[in-house]
Chain A
Amino acid sequence: MNNVGHGNSPITERVLSASDDMSAQLAGLRQVSVDGRVARETINLAYGFFTPLTGFMNSEDVHAVCNNMHLKSGVLWPIPIVLDASAEELHSNQIREGDGLLLTYEGNPLAVMDVEEIFDYDVEAMARAVLGTADTAHPGVGMYKSMRDRFVAGPVTLVAAPRFREPYDRFWHTPLELRRAFHDRQWLRVVAHQTRNVPHGGHEWLMKGAWFAANGDLGVERIQTGILVSCIIGPKRVGDYIDEAIILGHQALQDGGYFRRDVHLVSIALWDMRYAGPKEALFHAILRENMGCSHHMFGRDHAGVGRFYDPYDAHRIFDALGIEELAIKPVRLLEWWYCPVCKEITYSGLCGHVDRRQSFSGSMIRSILQDEVKPTTLVFRPEVFDATMTAAALYGGGSPFCTAEYLSSRPPVFDMPPTGSHAR
């Protein structure tokens, strides 16, 4: 089994095990509470999702990433991974470089951090470097501008495994677990599908098209290529699909037999979208490289928002990379639409009936779901529609879309054990 991740670095886990009785040491550490984004990124760092990173970036790495899209070591990296803290909190807790810290999340111990550097950075410059804009109409800009005024760098170690609630617990897999799962399935190639949507017919064919592209020249005697559906779990806005509907909708594609069980795996990935278009596409590729994927599909307007990026900027950024910089291949895809002449969902790069195309517009799909009218099987597989509406009833207060009430009352996706360590 190959456990080499991005930058030719091994995937390593930094998680205390149940046998590590660290309670006395933890009790003596100064504490800093972190928000959801930092908690999610701490977990990613500790499990190797961000290999070769083992902790939050120092000023040299942030500078190198912002200016050259590489770490100081020369490894390709497009987005700073930083822990922000307030100067006041650091001062009042007398936290200095060289200290050990206990990061807490929602009042419970999260991780131990060795403070290697405390530094300032211009967050507007960081936003411009990552997003290409400081326009506050871009949602990523707000995220950067909300950061506090100091950054704390250093490696992190989780004090225990996070506890995911149902149904997330069934879909949470670490990079090492995923690599084991791919190995057990005898997949030589794995193509990642990143998603924040309940899958409609266009998505299904996007995945199938990417599978064909990734499978390419492999023999047909045995299926050796798989699809990893990687559902992004992070902050939500009113009107987004609820996470439960996304995950269970994708699983319904497999349960309904539209994807064979031996070629399809649904998982979740913790990440706060920056909507950074091309740079975020590159980051997603690195994330899935660390998860063990050989290919990553990129459709139209991947990780984009509004009109800040050209719909295919996320494809073109890969043209600028050196061949050794990334051990995952992009699968670049155009749009899949329904053609009433071909009478099928077809690929815009193949279909000649452009004037007759029927595109899968997000607003149209949303309207169908809001009206609770069971769509035709080419729009939504019946199993996907049923799973979506069941998730809406179970988790969304009747709606498959986030409402203000859902966002204010939903239980957390994960939490940390209140005391001690509970390694998996």
Chain B
Amino acid sequence: MGETWSQQVSRPYCTVEIWINEERLGRLQDIGLAELAEEVLAGMRVLRIPCAEVEARELLGQCPAAKHDAATTGTIELLPPAVKSALFELVVRHGSLDVVRDYLNDVSAESD
């Protein structure tokens, strides 16, 4: 059975991958999200933050060096470390992966 309309619109447009080391994994364990981080190399894990199309456009607008790799990984590459750290802190604070909009709002509020 194919995807329903609601599944299609809720599917993330792309993801932002955040590296999870032992210290970060401990913080994810504290909020019950550790299982969402996939181990990829010798204890290093990746946490995939979903990002809607409009959010991706805004992120790319803020970070000109970043790129959306639509062809292979489907991720936003080359985001500055500070942006990824801020996204991770929001995950820990909110206990949720849906944090890109919150991040963009925070940045927008800071610039006002």
Interface string of B59-94 (1 = CB under 8 A from A): 000000000000000000010010010000000000
Report if B39 contacts A (CB, 8 A): yes
Instruction: Pick the residue among B18, B20, B42, B44 that contacts A345 (CB under 8 A).
Output: B42
Beta-carbon contact of A376 and B81 below 8 Å = no
Report if A368 contacts B (CB, 8 A): yes
Beta-carbon contact of A358 and B40 below 8 Å = yes
Interface string of A367-396 (1 = CB under 8 A from B): 110111111101100000000000000000
Beta-carbon contact of A360 and B21 below 8 Å = no
Beta-carbon contact of A375 and B81 below 8 Å = no
Beta-carbon contact of B21 and A370 below 8 Å = no
Instruction: Pick the residue among B19, B23, B39 that contacts A367 (CB under 8 A).
Output: B19
Beta-carbon contact of A338 and B41 below 8 Å = yes
Instruction: Pick the residue among B24, B44, B84 that contacts A379 (CB under 8 A).
Output: B44
Beta-carbon contact of A358 and B19 below 8 Å = no
B75 to chain A, nearest CB (A): 10
Beta-carbon contact of A338 and B84 below 8 Å = no
Beta-carbon contact of A379 and B41 below 8 Å = yes
Q: Considering the chains assembled together, what is the distance between the CA atoms of A345 and B20 in angstroms? A: 19
Q: Considering the chains assembled together, what is the distance between the CA atoms of A340 and B43 in angstroms? A: 9
Report if A320 contacts B (CB, 8 A): no
Q: Which A345-359 residues sit within 8 Å CB-CB of chain B? A: 345, 358-359
**Interface residue count on the B side (C-beta < 8 Å):** 17
B86 to chain A, nearest CB (A): 12
Report if A155 contacts B (CB, 8 A): no
Instruction: Pick the residue among B17, B21, B78, B84 that contacts A376 (CB under 8 A).
Output: B21
Report if B110 contacts A (CB, 8 A): no
Report if A201 contacts B (CB, 8 A): yes
Q: Which A60-88 residues sit within 8 Å CB-CB of chain B? A: none
Q: Which of A345, A373, A376 has the most CB of B within 10 A?
A: A373
Q: Considering the chains assembled together, what is the distance between the CA atoms of A379 and B21 in angstroms? A: 10
Q: Considering the chains assembled together, what is the distance between the CA atoms of A49 and B81 in angstroms? A: 42
B69 to chain A, nearest CB (A): 11
Q: Considering the chains assembled together, what is the distance between the CA atoms of A360 and B41 in angstroms? A: 7
Beta-carbon contact of A373 and B24 below 8 Å = yes
Report if A27 contacts B (CB, 8 A): no
Report if B22 contacts A (CB, 8 A): yes
Beta-carbon contact of A371 and B39 below 8 Å = no
Interface string of A283-318 (1 = CB under 8 A from B): 000000000000000000000000000000000000
Interface string of A319-361 (1 = CB under 8 A from B): 0000000000000000000101000010000000000001110
A348 to chain B, nearest CB (A): 15
A346 to chain B, nearest CB (A): 11
A293 to chain B, nearest CB (A): 30
Q: Considering the chains assembled together, what is the distance between the CA atoms of A202 and B85 in angstroms? A: 27
Report if A24 contacts B (CB, 8 A): no
Known: A370-B78, A371-B84. A378 touches B24 (CB 8 A): no
Interface string of B14-37 (1 = CB under 8 A from A): 000111111110000000000000
Known: A368-B19, A371-B84. A376 touches B44 (CB 8 A): yes
B35 to chain A, nearest CB (A): 15
Beta-carbon contact of B39 and A374 below 8 Å = no
B82 to chain A, nearest CB (A): 9
Known: A340-B39, A358-B41. A375 touches B78 (CB 8 A): no
Instruction: Pick the residue among B21, B40, B42, B43 that contacts A373 (CB under 8 A).
Output: B21
Q: Considering the chains assembled together, what is the distance between the CA atoms of A378 and B43 in angstroms? A: 8
A360 to chain B, nearest CB (A): 7
B43 to chain A, nearest CB (A): 4
User: Which B residues touch A1, using CB under 8 A?
Assistant: none
Beyond contacts A371-B84, A374-B23: 8 other A-B pairs, Cβ-Cβ < 8 A, are A338-B42, A358-B39, A359-B41, A360-B41, A364-B40, A364-B41, A376-B22, A379-B44
**Chain A to chain B: the 4 pairs with minimum beta-carbon distance, closest first:** A376-B43, A378-B42, A338-B42, A373-B19
Binding site for B on A (CB under 8 A): 201, 338, 340, 345, 358-360, 364, 367-368, 370-376, 378-379
